[in-house]
Chains A and B, each alone.
Chain A
Amino acid sequence: MVIDKIKKRIEYQEDGSEKEHRSDIPVGMWVKCSKCKEILYKEDLHKNYSVCPNCGNHFRLSSRRRIDQIVDSGTFEEFQLDCNTTNPLEMDDYVKKLEVLREKTGLEEAVKCGIGKINGEKVVICVMDSNFMMGSMGRVVGENITNSIEKAIELKLPVIIFSASGGARMQEGIISLMQMAKTVAAVEKLQKAGNLYISILTDPTYGGVTASFATLGDIILAEPNAMIGFAGPRVIKQTIGEDLPEGFQTAEFLLEHGFVDKVVNRKDMKETLYKLLLLNK
Chain B
Amino acid sequence: MAKVTAWERVKIAREPERPTALDYIEKIFDEFIELHGDRYFKDDKSIVCGLGNIAKQNYTIVAEQKGRNTKENIERNFGMPNPEAYRKALRFMKQAEKFHRPIITFIDTKGAYPGIGAEERGQGEAIARNLMEMSDLKVPIIAIVIGEGSSGGALAIGVGDRVLMLENAVYSILSPEGYASILWKDSTRAEEAAEKMKLTAKDLLDLGVIDEVIKEPNGNAKTDVEKMAETLKKKIVAITEELQAIKVDDLVEQRYQKFRKM
Contact = CB atoms under 8 A, between A and B. Distances in A.
Contacts of A175: 207, 209, 262
B116 interface: yes
A188 B135 contact: yes
B120 interface: yes
B178 to A, nearest CB: 8
- Classify chain A's interface size: 35 or more
Nearest to B134: A181
B155 A185 contact: no
B56 interface: no
B125 A259 contact: yes
Contacts of B131: 180-181, 184-185, 211-212
Given A174-B204, A184-B135, A259 B128 contact: no
A208 B131 CA distance: 11
B147 to A, nearest CB: 16
Interface in B85-133: 112-116, 118-125, 127-129, 131-133
B171 to A, nearest CB: 7
Contacts of A212: 127-128, 131, 152
A180 to B, nearest CB: 6
Given A178-B262, A257-B122, A88 B129 contact: no
B116 A211 contact: no
A177 B152 contact: yes
Contacts of B155: 177-178, 180-181
Point out which of A177, A213, A216, A248 has the most chain B C-beta atoms below 10 A from its C-beta: A177
Nearest to A228: B124
Contact of A181 (B121, B159, B171): B159
Q: From DSSP, what is the main secondary structure of chain B's interface residues?
A: helix
B122 A231 contact: no
Interface string A230-246: 11100110011000110
A148 interface: no
A277 B156 CA distance: 31
Interface residue SS majority, chain A: helix
Interface stretch (B12-20, B59-67, B191-199): B191-199
A187 B152 contact: no
B103 to A, nearest CB: 15
Given A173-B197, A259-B122, A185 B136 contact: yes
Contact of A236 (B116, B151, B207, B255): B116
Given A215-B124, A230-B127, A179 B198 contact: no
A188 to B, nearest CB: 5
A229 B121 CA distance: 11
Interface of B: 112-116, 118-125, 127-129, 131-133, 135-136, 151-152, 155-156, 158-159, 171-174, 178-179, 182-183, 196-199, 204, 207, 209, 255-256, 259-260, 262
Given A170-B179, A230-B118, A235-B114, 20 more contacts: A89-B197, A170-B183, A173-B197, A173-B199, A180-B152, A185-B260, A188-B132, A188-B133, A211-B123, A214-B124, A215-B122, A216-B132, A229-B119, A232-B114, A236-B115, A239-B115, A244-B116, A253-B120, A257-B122, A259-B122
